[in-house]
Structure formats: C-alpha cells, structure tokens
Amino acid sequence: MHKLIKLLKDIKKHKDYIYLSILISLWLIVLGVLSVYSANIIDVLSRLIFYSISKNIVLILVIKSLIIICIIILLIYLIFRNKKRFKFYSVANEQNLGENKFKAIVLPISLFKNYDKLKIEENEQRISIKFNDFNSFNFQIKNGGNCDESNNIDSINDFFNEIKKFENLNKIRLGFNWEVPLKIIYKIKKNQTNCPNCLKYIVLLGTEGQLNTNLLNNNAQNNNDVNSNNNNNNGNNGSYQQLDKLEKLIKIFFFNRSDNNDDIKIIKRKLNDFENFTELSEKFEEIEEDIKKEYYKEYKEHNDNIIKNYENFKGIDDTEIVYDITGGQKLVSVAGTFFSLKSQSPILYVSQNNNDTIKVINAIYKMEPPE
C-alpha cells in the first residue's frame, strides 16, 4: 500500500512529463498510421484513374481521411491548449545585435580612473564635455529644445570619434572607459525601429568601494590633504560614486531634452565589489525583481484594470531584460552567464576586435517541462 501511495505521488509530481510523453506517443502513432494510409491513398487513386472501382471504396477512403484529419487537429489543439505547461527552449546561440524589443539593460560599470578630469558644462545653448589637463579637448552639443532625440543619439558617434582623433594626434590616452555602456545603449536604441519606445530602464551597477585606511589614519593636521587625496585618488573608491556623471551623459545623448516626461528611467544600484560571485548573483536577481516591480508600478498608474499581484503581471519577460558582460572583472562575465542560464535573460558582449559589433548570447541549457 505504501508503495502504491508513493507511486501515485510520483505520478502527480511528474504529471507534466507523463502528459507530454502521451502526446508524443500519440503523434508517433498518428504518423505511423498516416504513412501506411498514404500508400493506400496512392493505390486507390491510381485504381480510380486507370480502373473503375466501387464508389463505396472511395466513400470509405474519404471517411478515413476525415477521421485522421480530426485526430491531427485534436492533437494540435491539446498541445497549444497546454503550451503554458511546457517550455521548449532553443539551443544556446549567439547573433549580432539587430532589431530588438529589449525593455531593460543592466550595465555593470567599472571604475573610471580619470573621473575627476571629466567636466560637463552646460548653458542654455550648448553642452561642453571636457577633460582637465587636456584643454584642447572640448566636445560640444546643442542644448535645450532646439535639439531633438534623434540628433542627440547620433552625436554620440561624433563624441567617440573626437576622443580617438584627440588620442591619436596627441599620443595620449584619455582613459574614457564608458564607451562600451554608452555604445550598447546607442545600438539597442537604434535597432528598435519597430518599437522605438521599448527601452524603459537602464540599470547602472557600481561598486561601493572603501577609502584607503592609511589615509584615514593620518593625523588631524593633514585632514585637508586627506580630503583632497580621497577626491582625486579614485582607485580607493568604488564606481558607484561616479554614476552621477555617467547618468548625465546618458541623458545628454539619449533623452529628449525638450520633453520633461522621459521615456527611459535610470536606476542606480551598488554592491561591495565585483569579485564576490554570491553577491553578484544575488544582486542580479534583486535587479530583475526591481525592474519587474517598477514596470508593474507604472502599469498601475496608467491602467484602471489593475492586476493585484505583480507576480501575475506579464508586462515584462525575462528575455526582455539584457545583461552586459563585456567590461570589468572576469567574475562579472561568469556571474552574468550563470544568471542567464537560470533566468533565460540574454547577455551582451561587445567585440574587442571591433567594438561596433555587439553579440547577443542566449545561454540556455534547460530543455524540459518545468516542475
């Protein structure tokens, strides 16, 4: 009796597998019958053309055909009716970024060592992006309602080209390491021609970091020097403190500055460092939940027919949240890949040989119905 109860529990636990196996078996039977029946159809048709045969045989043939067609339609209906019970995943693949409907991007941001040299100045007419100690570099863009969103986006390529030109002419490096996240945003936005307002969230993930303890242990008479060193020695701080300037650049290039109701929301998140795999994995999960909650919150504000529980809200899917694994420590790439395997979210990788090429990688390993 105990074994029977255990067997029934196992059957209940694996009912999706059993149901799927029954459907597959029925399909195999139908295909076998259909292959035999096809030979009979050819035989009867040939006899009908070349010889006179009984009308009853033709009638029987038509009835059998209708029965088989009905069975096939029933099997197709059963599969589509229960498709939510099964998840048929594609094999892991990669492709160049093209037309997309991504609603959120998660960008881990590494430390920008020349952060303090970057200056953004603006007035009513123009915005200037400069680097201190490199006075000859001064990139300008129109400000205010005179420049539309399309012009803002396209001007980012001019910005990158000016940096490269300046570095080649002066044989120096500006150390601007935010090109990858800005290029990813640009490429995603430019490839959303069929859904120009799909992108809703940009998540910037930075490290909190710690101040140099040696500096903090200096005596009181050197306090002013310590403060100065803390501001200038970015190697002792995390990248989270630098996200404000990156956010400002994103708004300059990608937001419609003539419209206060921005379509894209920038979310900033921090963690201790990028070398803690457990913390990284938990942070990715937390970010995914935050994005879905935020999307649900905006849905409630604009819709009367409210779904009470955000877990039941299907407004944004895991496959519409994409994670960049290009820059920073190798552990970010590892954690991002593992999270992609778990959540079905695609990951992005910018080619090191040609940073105009961005790969979309679907790292999927699961090919079975869910429990």
Q: Tell me if 30 sits within 8 A of 71, measured CB to CB.
A: yes
CA distances from 124 to 106, 145, 248, 253 (A): 32, 10, 16, 16
Same domain membership, residue 37 and residue 119: no
Question: Distance (Å, rounded) from C-alpha 146 to C-alpha 163?
Answer: 25
Residue 222 pLDDT exceeds 50: no
Same domain membership, residue 351 and residue 270: yes
CA distances from 187 to 103, 170, 243, 262, 314 (A): 14, 29, 21, 19, 26
Same domain membership, residue 264 and residue 235: yes
- Residue 371 resides in a domain: no
Q: Does pTM surpass 0.75?
A: no
How many structural domains are present in the chain?
A: 2
pLDDT of residue 206: 92
Average pLDDT value for the chain? 75
Same domain membership, residue 296 and residue 168: yes
Question: Distance (Å, rounded) from C-alpha 314 to C-alpha 317?
Answer: 7
Domain boundary among 52, 85, 118: 85
Question: Distance (Å, rounded) from C-alpha 89 to C-alpha 79?
Answer: 16
Q: Tell me if 146 sits within 8 A of 268, measured CB to CB.
A: no
Three-state secondary structure call for residue 361 = strand
- Residue 99 resides in a domain: yes
Q: Which of 7-11, 178-182, 299-303 has the highest mean pLDDT?
A: 178-182
Same domain membership, residue 164 and residue 78: no
Domain boundary among 85, 107, 130: 85
Q: Tell me if 240 sits within 8 A of 126, measured CB to CB.
A: no
- Residue 273 resides in a domain: yes
pLDDT of residue 148: 47
Three-state secondary structure call for residue 250 = helix
Same domain membership, residue 145 and residue 45: no
Q: Which of 47-51, 68-72, 278-282 has the highest mean pLDDT?
A: 278-282
The DSSP secondary-structure symbol of 132 reads T
The order of strands in the sheet holding 104-108 is: 93-96, 358-362, 347-350, 321-324, 104-108, 201-207, 265-271
Question: Distance (Å, rounded) from C-alpha 151 to C-alpha 256?
Answer: 10
Amino acid at 312: N
pLDDT of residue 47: 65
238-254 pLDDT, tens digit each = 899 999 999 999 988 88
Largest CA distance in the chain: 116
pLDDT band at 323 (very low <50, low <70, confident <90, very high): very high
pLDDT of residue 217: 41
Question: Closest Cα to residue 292, out of 308, 313, 307?
Answer: 313
Q: Tell me if 313 sits within 8 A of 302, measured CB to CB.
A: no
Same domain membership, residue 293 and residue 220: yes
Question: Distance (Å, rounded) from C-alpha 311 to C-alpha 328?
Answer: 32
142-199 pLDDT, tens digit each = 875 444 444 478 889 999 999 999 888 888 888 888 999 999 999 999 999 888 888 9
Same domain membership, residue 138 and residue 280: yes
pLDDT band at 340 (very low <50, low <70, confident <90, very high): confident
Q: Tell me if 157 sits within 8 A of 174, measured CB to CB.
A: no
Same domain membership, residue 255 and residue 173: yes
Amino acid at 332: V
Q: Average pLDDT for residues 212-218, to the nearest whole number?
A: 37
pLDDT of residue 301: 74
Same domain membership, residue 324 and residue 181: yes
Q: Tell me if 127 sits within 8 A of 252, measured CB to CB.
A: yes
Question: Distance (Å, rounded) from C-alpha 215 to C-alpha 228?
Answer: 10
Residue 133 pLDDT exceeds 80: no
- Residue 367 resides in a domain: no
Give the domain extent around 349.
93-362
Same domain membership, residue 167 and residue 60: no
Q: Which of 136-145, 242-251, 272-281 has the highest mean pLDDT?
A: 242-251
Question: Distance (Å, rounded) from C-alpha 269 to C-alpha 241?
Answer: 11
- Supply 107's token pair: 């960008």
Q: What percent of the chain has pLDDT over 70?
A: 66
Domain boundary among 60, 85, 110: 85
Q: Where are the alpha helices (DSSP H) in the chain?
A: 2-13, 15-50, 55-81, 149-170, 179-190, 213-216, 223-232, 243-254, 277-302, 330-343
